[in-house]
Structure 1
Amino acid sequence: MAQHMAGKKIAITGPRKAAEMSKLVEKMGGTPVLRPAQGTVFLDDQELRSSLKSWVEQPPDWTILTTGIGLEAILDMSAEMGIGAQLESLLSRGSVAARGYKTVNALKKRGIIPDVRDDDGSSAGLIRSFAPYDMRGKDVILQLHGDAAPLLVSWLQEQGAAVRQVLPYRHVPPEEQDLAALLNDILEGQIDAVTFTSAPQIRFLAEYAASQGKKEAMLAALENQIIAAAVGKVTANGMLEEGIKRIVVPGEERMGSMMVELGRYFAGTEAVNGYGLA
C-alpha cells in the first residue's frame, strides 16, 4: 500500500473498528491517534418496544428507514416480542422509503423493494426522491439510528405529514477528557487530519468546543491547517451543518475508502469536496 500518509498523524474518532482503521493508517505510513468522540451505542429496549407495539397496532402510511443496522435491530426486537411476522408483512405491503445502500440491502434480503430511495446516500437525496409524492396528512414512521435527523423531520412536517420517530439505538456522549484531548490536538496542530465515521461524533465535538468558547478557533484550524475526513455523505453533511467546510469524502461509503481518499489528498491527487458537497 502506498505510503501517502508518511509522517502524518491521523486522529480516529470512531470507536467502532478503531483497531482496523489504525492498521490502515500505519500501512500507509502514518501514525494513528485514538480520540473517541462518541460513547457506547446501546439499545433503548423500553422505548423501542413501545414504538414497535404502536407501529403494528397503528400501521403508518409510509415507513422511512435510514440505516440497515437499525432495521435489523427493529426486526430482531419485533421477533422477540412475537410481532415479527406482522411487522415484516406491514413492510412488504406498505409504502417504504430507504436511505443508504445498507438499508436497501437489508430490505432486499427480505424480498422488499423500497418505493423511494435516495439518489446519493443522504437525507437531502431522499427528500429529492420524494418529489412526486404528496405527503399531506400522511402518517410516517421514521426509523433513525441513534441521532436526530432535523432536515428530514422538518421537511416531512412542512409537507403536512405526522412523524413518529423510532430510534433503536442511543448514542452516549464520550468522556469529556477524550473530547478535550481531540480539541487540543486540533487547536495546537498536533495532528494532520481527523476522521469521522458518524454525525454524532461531529456534534459532540462541536458542542464541547462551543461550551469552551473555542468552536470558531476549531473551525479556523480545520479550514486552514488540519484536514477533516468523513466516511460518507451523511457524515459529511453533519460536518457541513457544524461549519466544517474543507472535507475529504470517498465516493464509496467505507472506512477503508475514506483512508485511501485521505491518502490521495496528502499525495495531492484528489480535490477536497469532490463529490458534490459544499
Structure 2
Amino acid sequence: MSKGSKPLSGKTIVIAGSRKLDEMSALIEKQGGTAIVRSLQGVTTFKEQEMEQELRLFIANRPEWVIFTTGIGAKALFDAADRLGIKDQFVETVQQSKIAIRGYKTYNFLKTQELAPDIRDSDGTMKGLEDQLESTTFTKEQIWIQLHGEPAPDLVQFLEAKGASSVHTLLPYLNIAPEADTLKQLRQEIQQGEIDAICFTTAVQVRYLFKDAREHGYEEELRSALNQGVLAVSVGKVTSEALTQAGVTRIVAPENERMGAMIVEMAKYFEQ
C-alpha cells in the first residue's frame, strides 16, 4: 500500500446483509473503499398467527427441555406470549424446563427475563451447543427448539439420536430468499472479477449464495473465487462455520462479533 493511501483504496466491497447498510457503507468508504449492497437475505417475516398456536401447544405440552438459539427469536416468543396475554404461563413453562442456549445475545436476553441456562454452547455455534449437550441423554423427553429463519436438521437428528421422544421446532421468523436479479448481478460481478471482498453478516447469506451457484453450475468457480480473488469476510463464528462448510478456506473475521469490527479486520487484512 502506498504511503498516505487508505487500506481499502481501489477496493470494491460487497455488503451481503440487509441491516445497518448505511453504517457499514460509511465505514468502508472512510477506509477508502467502494461499498455496494447485494443483499443475499430477503426480508425476514414474523409468523404471528402460527406463533399463537405454537405457544399454546408449548404451554399445554410442558416439555422437559427448551433450546433457544438466537436472542431476537427468543425475544419474539416472549413478546408474542405477552401480546396474547399468556406470558405468565409461557414463562412458567420455560422455568419448569431445562434450558439450553446458543449465543451471547440469547444469554443476555434470558438474563432480562431472570432466566439462566442449564447448558450453554462453547463457542457461539450450533456445533458448540451439540458439544455441550454430548454427555446429556434425552431418553423419552420432549424437546422444543426456537430457531431463526430456517430449520436445523442436524441439531434435530442429534437430539433424536440421543433418545428424545419428540423434537419440536419453533420458527418465529422465516427467511425469504433474496431477489433473483440480485443473485444474477453478484454472480456476474464475481465471474468478471469486479469485486475484491464480500462481507457476510449471517450464515444464511452464505447458504443462499452457494445454493444459487449450484443451481447455475458455477459452485466450483465460486469456491475458487472466494479462496483466491474475492476475500470472504465474516461477522463471526456462525457465519464463518457456514463458509467453512461450503469449502471456503480463506476467511477474515473479527474476534469481537460486530459489523464495525468486521470492517476494521478486513481493512487490516488488505493493509498487510
TM class, shorter-chain normalised? over 0.9
CA separation in 1, counterparts of 2:151 and 2:248?
A: 19
The residue identity in structure 1 corresponding to 2:270 is F
> Do the aligned partners of 1:186 and 1:222 also contact (CA within 8 Å) in 2?
no
Unaligned runs of 5+ in 1: 269-278
CA deviation profile, 1:74-116 (whole Å, cap 9, x unmatched): 0111111121111112222321011000000000011111111
CA deviation profile, 1:97-138 (whole Å, cap 9, x unmatched): 110000000000111111111111001111111133212222
SS at match of 1:96: strand
CA separation in 2, counterparts of 1:213 and 1:112?
A: 48
Q: How does 1:87-106 map to 2 (within 5 A)?
A: 87-106=90-109
Query: 2:175 is matched with which residue: 166, 171, 178?
Result: 171
CA separation in 2, counterparts of 1:134 and 1:222?
A: 40
CA separation in 2, counterparts of 1:148 and 1:232?
A: 20
Task: Determine the structure 2 residue equivalent to 1:264.
Answer: 268
Query: 1:215 is matched with which residue: 214, 219, 223?
Result: 219
CA deviation after TM superposition for structure 1 residue 168, in Å: 0.5
CA RMSD of aligned residues (A): 1.3
Pair 1:184 & 2:188 matched? yes
Query: 1:61 is matched with which residue: 59, 64, 70?
Result: 64
Unaligned runs of 5+ in 2: none
CA deviation profile, 1:138-169 (whole Å, cap 9, x unmatched): 21101001112233222112212221000000
SS at match of 1:126: helix
> Do the aligned partners of 1:64 and 1:96 also contact (CA within 8 Å) in 2?
yes
CA deviation after TM superposition for structure 1 residue 177, in Å: 0.5
SS at match of 1:155: helix
The residue identity in structure 1 corresponding to 2:102 is R
Pair 1:39 & 2:47 matched? no
Task: Determine the structure 2 residue equivalent to 1:10.
Answer: 13
Task: Determine the structure 2 residue equivalent to 1:224.
Answer: 228
SS at match of 1:54: helix
The residue identity in structure 1 corresponding to 2:208 is F
> Do the aligned partners of 2:137 and 2:163 also contact (CA within 8 Å) in 1?
no
Query: 2:253 is matched with which residue: 249, 272, 275?
Result: 249
CA separation in 2, counterparts of 1:149 and 1:45?
A: 21
Per the normalisation by structure 2, the TM-score is 0.94
Query: 2:114 is matched with which residue: 105, 111, 115?
Result: 111
CA deviation profile, 1:227-251 (whole Å, cap 9, x unmatched): 1011111111122222222211211
CA deviation after TM superposition for structure 1 residue 8, in Å: 1.1
Q: How many residues align?
A: 267
Task: Determine the structure 2 residue equivalent to 1:135.
Answer: 138
CA separation in 2, counterparts of 1:7 and 1:193?
A: 12
Per the normalisation by structure 1, the TM-score is 0.92
> Do the aligned partners of 1:6 and 1:28 also contact (CA within 8 Å) in 2?
yes
